[in-house]
Structure 1
Amino acid sequence: MAIKIEMLRCFKAVADHGALADAAQVLNRTPSAVSMMLRQFEDHVGAPLFETGRKSRLTPLGELIRQEAGRELAHFERTVSAIEGLARAERGFVRIIATPSIAQIVMPPVLRRYIADHPAVRIDMRDADSATIEQELRSEGADIGLASLGPIPGFDRRRILSDRFGVVCRADHPLTWHWQTLTWADLHGTAFIANGLCRQIEDDAFAPLLEAARLSVRNTASILSLVRAGVGITVLPELAVLPEFSDLAFLPLQDVSARREVFIFTPDAALMTPAARDMAAAILASELQPD
């Protein structure tokens, strides 16, 4: 007969309390049931564990086994607690990958609430461009992706927000003088910096501007640094320009309907941990729409 965890729990209770009746009360069992399990345990060990029938004193072997049983029971309780915590989303690890503007603007309030509700869950959040996000999702390098991408086989795709595109330039740029009437035509002849989000703009009047661009940059932080340095102007979604960028201007264009749509990508719910499912639900439940 193999040693079972209940045998260890029974033996330690008797050893700690020094009497079958007291141990039985703690274990919520009858004294006869405790006595039978203790006998099975001693038979398996092959030596007596108590010096007397009253169970008040352990043999030297019994004392050693009590120490080992205590360590094993403590480890077992920690394991059970961890498993139950994972199942209830009280513990776990969630990996999020998002475009920079979403990581900077959208996620902070979501994470603040989630961390308050799930204090034992660890979170890893990275920002990247949409192409990298797709690669990470496909290679199972992330649990949740937030990006402007088309459908990805094997992933659920739900829109979480939409924001308008506009011209981003220095606050002292001449374009800011009459921005209320700004159109794509007003951008011709400027030093235009292309970026990965430009492919989402399908306006015919925008195509010549994109084709004429001599500089293309993927990273949003790098693009904004170049614009701030006066290298050129660009077109970005409104959320990409943080409020603290007081030296930059976001100029909506007239008669332009182009918008950036951001989606949350998750695998099938059955393949997600409870902690990741709760994170996805928190993102979807947030008021993300900037319109």
Structure 2
Amino acid sequence: MALKIEMLRGFATVARSGNLSDAAQTLGRTPSAVSMMLKQLETHLGEPLFETDRKSKLTALGAYVLEQAERELQQFDNTVKAIEGFAKATHGRVRIATVPSVAGTIIPQVFSRHISDYHNVDIELRDMDSTSILHELSRDRIDIGIATIGQQTAGLSSQHLLSDTFGVICAPTHPLAQEEGPVPWEALANERLIANSLSASIGAEPSIQLHAGALISAHNLTSIMGMVHANIGITVLPKMVINAINSANLVFRPLCGPQVKREIHLLRRADSTLSPAARLLERHILEVATEISQDTLI
């Protein structure tokens, strides 16, 4: 006969209760069934576990078995709890990487609304550029990516998250800030452009020409905004970038013309299945992104 975990649980309950009646009630079984289980355990071990039939005093073997049983039961119960928690999305680990604008807008709203759902979930959040996110996904270093993808979709499962409008960002004292409405590319021909990796991704011919004449190129958002605020020049960035840094002292005007939006996608590897916790986070991200798109971006 093989020892079973419920046999150890039954013995430990009797040992802690000191009698069959109370132990049977705790276990939800009859006293005779518990007594039979104890006899099977003692037969298997070849030695008695209790000094008397009253089950109030353990033998030396009984004391040793109780010590080992309680240790094993705690480990077993913790394992079951972890497995069930993982399946119900209340436990686990989720690795997510996103472009900074989403990290500063959508992600905070997700956790402000649903943080109680992730008390026992280890969440690793990183913000990086889209190219790095695609690289991390290809190496299976993250579970969820939020990025622009271009033509790089091989091996990825992609779901459109939102569209983000590009616009001109300038200081309040700049002449462009004195008008309203979309800005035509021609109006930027004589402007001093502070180029960046996002604006350089716009494939429209007017944008390519404008960037060809840029005297300054910056990659750090703080540096870009500092120079724009100092009226050194203007820059072109998606609207969510401004929302993410909450820069009320700068003016955003959308661009008019072709290819002035970036498409942001929710990504994961096509050959892997997300954990329940990751699927829950993915659903919450989609819900918040839909609301933000309806309210501010479309």
TM-score after normalising by structure 2: 0.87
Residue 246 of structure 2 aligns with an amino acid whose one-letter code is E
Quickly say closer, same or farther: Cα 1:45–1:258, change in 2 above 3 A. same
Q: How much does 1:206 deviate?
A: 1.7
| Residue of structure 2 in register with 1:132 after alignment | 132
Q: How much does 1:157 deviate?
A: 0.9
Q: Does structure 2 retain, via aligned residues, the 8 Å contact 1:179–1:253?
A: no
d(CA) in 2 for partners of 1:63 and 1:247? 73
| Residue of structure 2 in register with 1:197 after alignment | 198
Q: How much does 1:16 deviate?
A: 1.9
What is the aligned counterpart of 1:260 among 249, 257, 262? Answer: 262
**Cα deviation digits, residues 15-46 of structure 1 (max 9, x gap):** 12233343333323344432333233224444
Quickly say closer, same or farther: Cα 1:78–1:71, change in 2 above 3 A. same
d(CA) in 1 for partners of 2:231 and 2:2? 76
d(CA) in 1 for partners of 2:91 and 2:269? 20
| Residue of structure 2 in register with 1:172 after alignment | 173
Q: Does structure 2 retain, via aligned residues, the 8 Å contact 1:269–1:277?
A: no
d(CA) in 2 for partners of 1:181 and 1:285? 29
d(CA) in 1 for partners of 2:185 and 2:113? 41
d(CA) in 2 for partners of 1:227 and 1:138? 36
Secondary structure of residue in 2 paired with 1:123? strand
d(CA) in 1 for partners of 2:213 and 2:180? 22
Q: Does structure 2 retain, via aligned residues, the 8 Å contact 1:165–1:237?
A: yes
Q: Does structure 2 retain, via aligned residues, the 8 Å contact 1:100–1:220?
A: no
Say what the alpha-carbon RMSD is for the aligned residues. Answer: 2.4
**Cα deviation digits, residues 120-140 of structure 1 (max 9, x gap):** 223221111111111111112
Per mean C-alpha deviation after superposition, the further-off stretch among 99-108 and 169-178 is 169-178
The number of equivalent residue pairs is 291
Q: How much does 1:108 deviate?
A: 1.4
Q: How much does 1:117 deviate?
A: 3.2
Per mean C-alpha deviation after superposition, the further-off stretch among 11-20 and 250-259 is 250-259
Q: Does structure 2 retain, via aligned residues, the 8 Å contact 1:160–1:288?
A: no
The aligned runs of 1:61-80 (5 Å cut-off) are 61-80=61-80
Q: Does structure 2 retain, via aligned residues, the 8 Å contact 1:15–1:56?
A: yes
| Residue of structure 1 in register with 2:209 after alignment | 208
Quickly say closer, same or farther: Cα 1:219–1:265, change in 2 above 3 A. farther
| 5+ residue gaps, structure 2 | none
Q: Which runs of structure 1 show a deviation greater than 6 angstroms over 4 or more consecutive aligned residues?
A: none
| 5+ residue gaps, structure 1 | none
Q: How much does 1:208 deviate?
A: 0.8
Per mean C-alpha deviation after superposition, the further-off stretch among 123-132 and 192-201 is 192-201
Secondary structure of residue in 1 paired with 2:25? helix
**Cα deviation digits, residues 242-290 of structure 1 (max 9, x gap):** 3731322112234455111111112359611100001111111221312
Quickly say closer, same or farther: Cα 1:231–1:40, change in 2 above 3 A. farther
The aligned runs of 1:226-245 (5 Å cut-off) are 226-242=227-243, 244-245=246-247
Q: How much does 1:179 deviate?
A: 5.5
| Residue of structure 2 in register with 1:247 after alignment | 249
Residue 129 of structure 2 aligns with an amino acid whose one-letter code is D
Residue 274 of structure 1 aligns with an amino acid whose one-letter code is P
d(CA) in 2 for partners of 1:3 and 1:145? 47
| Residue of structure 2 in register with 1:14 after alignment | 14
| Residue of structure 2 in register with 1:271 after alignment | 273
d(CA) in 2 for partners of 1:269 and 1:90? 24
Per mean C-alpha deviation after superposition, the further-off stretch among 52-61 and 251-260 is 251-260
Secondary structure of residue in 2 paired with 1:271? coil
| Residue of structure 2 in register with 1:144 after alignment | 144
Residue 100 of structure 2 aligns with an amino acid whose one-letter code is P
Secondary structure of residue in 2 paired with 1:241? helix
| Residue of structure 1 in register with 2:99 after alignment | 99
d(CA) in 2 for partners of 1:181 and 1:148? 23
Per mean C-alpha deviation after superposition, the further-off stretch among 214-223 and 145-154 is 214-223
Residue 65 of structure 1 aligns with an amino acid whose one-letter code is V
What is the aligned counterpart of 2:292 among 282, 288, 291? Answer: 288
Q: Does structure 2 retain, via aligned residues, the 8 Å contact 1:179–1:252?
A: no
Per mean C-alpha deviation after superposition, the further-off stretch among 233-242 and 143-152 is 143-152
Q: Does structure 1 retain, via aligned residues, the 8 Å contact 2:155–2:271?
A: no
